[in-house]
Structure 1
Amino acid sequence: AFLQILKVNNDYPVIFLEGIIESTSGYLSEIAINRISYDDLNSKILVQAIYTKCPKLKYLKLEFKNNNILELEKLLINCQYLDGLFIIGIFGFDWYRCFEILTRSSPINLFKFKFNYSTHIGCLKLFFDDWKVKCPDRPMKLQLIDEKRRPISKENENLIETYKAEGIIKKFSNHLYNEDFEWL
């Protein structure tokens, strides 16, 4: 039997994680790498290991940086069974580009998203509008997580309610209190 779930909460060298991922022979279905910040090169190597060695991946929690955002697209293309994605965007992360890639390249099963995220309304509106056009038959389950436990802005809350009414968002929550791959 091969490892199917990988949860990492400590700073392990990427070469170690890459070795674990490779040794699973493609059987990993869940990967959660929590609050671990790698330099640009190691971050890219980790994402590449995931999308080349985990074709059956269903759930992923991972930090993305602007320098490896193109690797996200390759991951979405290669991991066609992906069902839920939890993106940790570090300070200054280009959410516009991330959302553009998600809309353009998400596999057919992917509609569950969590983002540690707080941004202005324009970024979310663009994501929802693009999703409505390109993925109208896949209403999303969405969770926005502010690690400082601040509620979303009233403006963003109203925007989300509008898109829920239009059927673009199926469910929405704004808290930290459930498991990585549990969507309320």
Structure 2
Amino acid sequence: MDQRDGSRADVIPISTAPSAPPVGAATGTVTAPAPSVPRPARPSGLGRVGLVLVSHSRELAEAVRALALAVAETDDPAPVAATGGDPADGPADGGPGVSALLVAAAARRVDQGHGVAVLCDLDGPVRTVLAVLAAADEHGLPFPTRFADAPFVEGAVAAVATATAGGDLAAVLDAAEETARLPKR
């Protein structure tokens, strides 16, 4: 221990400092460091905020999902579902439209117990999603499920990145909605 002004202060011996040479370096017998064990980016068993991307077109929603997941650049992304198209037109057609049943099913699929954020492309899906949220219990939505008033593509990318990083529902919504205020130049 080092004495300074009459008080005791902890001192780390230089041989145990993080920058110290490996044991035996002075004698020429260097001990190999223990192999590092790969650690997951997040502790297993912890859920994240889920995301639902809703469009008039199932193909567009799936393309935005793929883009957002690609930008996230991880093997362990937050759960993201894409839905769109009107099932009344049949699964082969999937014409333009939005189904409240598909939105609710997608929200349940991505729910990991930390909330679900829903992003939409146009006014029709927005109206459908807001109606589903207004009758959340009737549709069996996970709690909490919230609408993100954000640009579809930019908001989805920001929301997926934030949810993947472990952000809570408020942070995911903020990240998505902040993209509406960012200039594109």
TM-score, normalising length: structure 1: 0.30
**Larger CA Rg, structure 1 vs 2:** 2
Relative to its length, the structure with more strand (as a share) is: 1
TM-score, normalising length: structure 2: 0.30
- Does 1 or 2 have the higher relative contact order (CA < 8 Å, sep 6+)? 2
